[in-house]
Amino acid sequence: MGEELPKRDEWAIQCMERQLVVMDDLADRAAGTAAWLALERQANSYARHLGTWLAKETIFPGARGQMATHQAALAGYAHRAQEQVAGVDAEELEAARAGLGIRLAVIGKGGAGKTVTSSTLARLFAQAGRKVLACDLDVNPGLAVSLGMQGDQGGMPEGSIEEHPGSIYGWQLTGDMTPIQVVEKFASAAPDGVRFLGFGKIGPASEGGGTDKSAAKQSVAALVHLMLGIGEPDWDVIADLEAGPTTPFERYHAFSEDVVVVVGPAWRSAMTARRLLPMVEGRRSLIIANRFRDEPDHPGLAARFRIPFDPELAEVERQGLAPLDACPDSPAIVALRQLAALYLNQEVPV
Ligand SMILES: Nc1ncnc2c1ncn2[C@@H]1O[C@H](COP(=O)(O)OP(=O)(O)OP(=O)(O)O)[C@@H](O)[C@H]1O
Ligand SMILES: [Mg+2]
């Protein structure tokens, strides 16, 4: 009789099985160059994340055989997609690739300006006619308010998550739907048609002195896997990560192709950015200097884009308003419009 697998290995195997469901769904619906390129990208994205598991001997030892098989299966999907676009001319291929949905993680030190950057970009992408999912991966939520939503501080809605003892904190994304189906069914509506999902917050201290962490904990694995599992060619996904290196270390940005590192003028903001950059290696990273007045760039952290210090923005944020609505022409928002255009036109400085 074979030994029973530890629950966490069982969970890892189930995650891989679910990835194949996503791949099959994308393959079944694939029609046209963009769809096949998106499928190839999704296979590579899953494979890259798998690589971070495989790189650590200690993670999921009972699932390593299945991981190798899974790696080969993903390579098979990528190969199939490449065959489908083999006859397409280079220019058309490039145009289709450039039009694929953006996968952007916004990281940086606390208070650097991650939330205002994420929310404003999400809405500007949506205003440009794109389908956008904005995710708040911070247990001190703020993205919903910055998007201009009324409240919505909840975690993943009931029905979108389920228990699994092997998953982090014991909960995971429901297996009844694919990630994009979960988005379509459960994501909240934000202004300009942006769809929103979040961890939910850690509740206020109760009388007994404890706090309710359940919504946030139950949402973590689900939301990270949901974002990683969105392979649609025509959806942009933007995530506002919790400040500092812990969440990138935990690979909350696994879904991303692009990373924005927001850096403020403070020395410690630069120190955080320096620690973050190696964690997001392999992605296209853009360092943004935010809130600088006349301060020089930090040594070794030349910013490729600048958002000026903007007292009007700070004031509307203090009032809990969405900057894009409340100060649409203030200097920081003007800069963020330029940044959105760079992403939309594939002109991101690298
Ligand atoms: N360019 C700017 N000029 C002036 N104030 C700014 C600018 N960018 C952000 N702020 C202000 O700095 C504060 C922090 O911004 P924001 O919430 O976007 O940062 P954050 O990185 O998400 O912070 P946290 O780590 O706490 O989530 C807010 O009060 C915001 O209004
Ligand atoms: Mg924030």
Provide residues with CB under 6 Å of ligand 1.
108, 110-116, 138, 142, 243, 290-291, 307, 309-310, 313-314, 317, 332
- Number of structural domains found in the chain: 2
Answer yes or no: is pLDDT of 203 > 70.
no
Atom of ligand 1 minimally distant from the CA of 290: 1
**Helices 64-84 + 7-29 axis angle, to 10:** 10
Structural domain of residue 119, as residue ranges? 101-155+191-203+233-344
Atom of ligand 1 minimally distant from the CA of 323: 31
Q: Find the 46 Cα to ligand 2 centroid distance in Å.
A: 27
Q: Are residues 242 and 134 in the same domain?
A: yes
Q: Are residues 91 and 116 in the same domain?
A: no
**pLDDT band at 204; cut points 50, 70, 90:** low
Q: Are residues 19 and 144 in the same domain?
A: no
Between 280 and 1, name the one with better pLDDT: 280
Q: Find the 332 Cα to ligand 1 centroid distance in Å.
A: 11
Given 80, 96, 112, the domain boundary residue is 96
The CATH number of the domain holding residue 123 is 3.40.50.300
Q: Residue 300's pLDDT is what?
A: 86
Q: With respect to residue 110, please indicate whether it lies within any of the assigned structural domains.
A: yes
Q: Kindly report, residue by residue over 218-266, the tens digit of the pLDDT.
A: 999 999 999 999 999 999 999 999 998 888 888 999 999 999 999 999 9
Answer yes or no: is pLDDT of 1 > 60.
no
Atom of ligand 1 minimally distant from the CA of 335: 1
Q: Find the 202 Cα to ligand 2 centroid distance in Å.
A: 15
Q: Kindly report, residue by residue over 327-341, the tens digit of the pLDDT.
A: 999 999 999 999 999
Atom of ligand 1 minimally distant from the CA of 244: 25
Q: With respect to residue 180, please indicate whether it lies within any of the assigned structural domains.
A: no
Given 75, 96, 117, the domain boundary residue is 96
**pLDDT band at 215; cut points 50, 70, 90:** confident
The mean pLDDT value of the chain amounts to 93
Q: Kindly report, residue by residue over 318-329, the tens digit of the pLDDT.
A: 999 999 999 999
Question: b vs e for 41-80, b when ≥16 Cβ sit within 10 Å of the residue's Cβ?
Answer: bbbbbbbebbeebbeeeeebeebeebbeebbebbeebbeb
Q: Where do runs of H (alpha helix) occur along the chain?
A: 7-29, 33-54, 64-84, 90-98, 114-127, 143-147, 179-186, 214-228, 246-249, 267-279, 311-318, 323-326, 331-344
Q: Are residues 61 and 119 in the same domain?
A: no
Q: Find the 284 Cα to ligand 1 centroid distance in Å.
A: 23
